[in-house]
Each structure stands twice: as C-alpha cells, then as structure tokens.
C-alpha cells in the first residue's frame, strides 16, 4: 500500500524491501521492479482536491517475497476499525527530518498517538479538511511526519502483539510538519477494506 499522490504514470517504480539506510548496500534487502500495470490507484482519487480523500494505491509485486529478520508483514485492520484517542502508533519513513530540513538517510521511527476524529476535526485543528476516511496522529508540536514520509505506514500494535497498518501518510500542514494542533493526516486503511479486497481479487 502507498498513497495515491505518490504515484505518477510517467515514472517507473522499484520497491525495496528490508531497507534501512538509503545510501548503503544492505545484506538481505531486495529490490523489485514494478510494471506499470501492477499499480492500482483508487478510482476516486483527485489530485486537484487531495483533501477529498481516497489517497490510497496498491502495488502488486511480480513474485512472492521470502520473509526474514528485516522483512516482515503488516496486517490490514478489520473493516471500519477506528482507534481510540491517544492509541500508541508509530510513523516510519525517510522524509525530511524537520520542516524544510534534509531527507533522512536512515529510516526514521516516531511514536505518534492517534488523535480521534472528534478532536482532529475541531476548527482550531484540521476542521472540515478532515474526512471520516482519514486518521490523525501526533499534533503535539514536536513529533510529526514530514514531507517525504508520504505513502508510509502508521503502524499500531494490537493487544495480541500483531502489527496493523492503520494509516497511509497523506499530508501535513503548510504551517510546518510539526505545527501544534495540526497532526499528520493519514488515509484510514480500515475505510478501504472492500476496495483492497476487490483490487486483489481482480488482479
């Protein structure tokens, strides 16, 4: 899974699994070329009106991948799962280290608690820009996702120890990545289970 706004028809993509540092060759990492026909963007995605939602895309790998110590699966949550306020989740990515800062060489990870929809849709937070198909995390003015983290996961651990991908990084505030009361906004994966199932069944 990735964000629809990360996908362009004019670009050839390569998926790298088991990667940590972008500048070094790492034992166990796997690079896979992706054919254009194996990328599926949600049909209702509109790049002109990104805040309408549907910022989700699927990438089909050309062959199965062997799991290892550095390559693990993240599960899809049950349909319509909505996490409670302050539920602990983690954002990961190689985005900017801070607003207008450099891109990270090493994969970054940060604890970002969920902000429930009732809070995140308040006028002094994201207001009407926040859809029910989105989920917020962070907003403390210190820790946040940033430009370049788009398409990455918001990973949350369940009570039985399973990791689930509850969000796909979608956008941050123009006021800055870590603006207070402007949490990182993610596409809520559990709002798209039917779409994911349909794409997988037809392809």
Structural domain span for residue 51: 4-71+193-202
43 domain residue, yes or no: yes
78 domain residue, yes or no: no
Same domain, 65 and 115: no
10 domain residue, yes or no: yes
On the question of pLDDT at 174 being above 90, the answer is: yes
Same domain, 123 and 175: yes
Mind listing the pLDDT tens digit for each residue in 3-24? Answer: 999 998 778 899 999 999 999 9
pTM score, whole prediction = 0.95
Q: What is the pLDDT of residue 69?
A: 92
Mind listing the pLDDT tens digit for each residue in 102-114? Answer: 999 999 999 999 9
185 domain residue, yes or no: yes
76 domain residue, yes or no: no
Closest CA to 172 of 58, 93, 83, 87: 93
Catalytic residues: 5, 55, 150
- The CATH number of residue 147's host domain is 2.40.10.10
Number of domains the chain contains? 2
79 domain residue, yes or no: no
Same domain, 148 and 172: yes
> Which residues fall within 8 angstroms of residue 136, CB to CB, at 6 or more apart?
114, 115, 116, 117, 119, 120, 125, 126, 130, 183, 184, 185, 186
Distance CA 53, CA 56 (A): 8
Same domain, 197 and 160: no
């Amino acid at each position: 899974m990735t964000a629809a706004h990360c996908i362009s028809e004019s670009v050839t993509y390569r998926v790298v699994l088991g990667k940590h540092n972008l500048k070094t060759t790492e034992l166990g990492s796997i690079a896979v070329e992706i054919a254009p026909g194996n990328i599926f963007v949600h049909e209702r995605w509109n790049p002109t009106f990104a805040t309408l939602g549907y910022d989700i895309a699927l990438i089909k790998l050309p062959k199965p991948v062997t799991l290892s110590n550095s390559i693990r699966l993240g599960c899809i949550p049950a349909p319509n799962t909505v996490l409670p306020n302050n539920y602990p989740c983690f954002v990961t990515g190689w985005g900017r280290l801070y607003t207008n800062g450099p891109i990270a060489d090493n994969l970054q990870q940060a604890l970002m608690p969920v902000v429930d929809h009732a809070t995140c849709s308040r006028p002094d937070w994201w207001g009407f820009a926040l859809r029910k198909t989105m989920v917020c995390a962070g907003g403390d003015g210190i820790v946040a996702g940033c430009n370049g983290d788009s398409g990455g996961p918001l990973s949350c651990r369940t009570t039985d120890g399973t990791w689930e991908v509850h969000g796909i990084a979608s956008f941050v505030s123009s006021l800055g990545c870590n603006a207070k009361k402007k949490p990182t906004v993610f596409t809520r994966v559990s709002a798209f289970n039917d779409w994911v199932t349909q794409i997988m069944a037809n392809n």
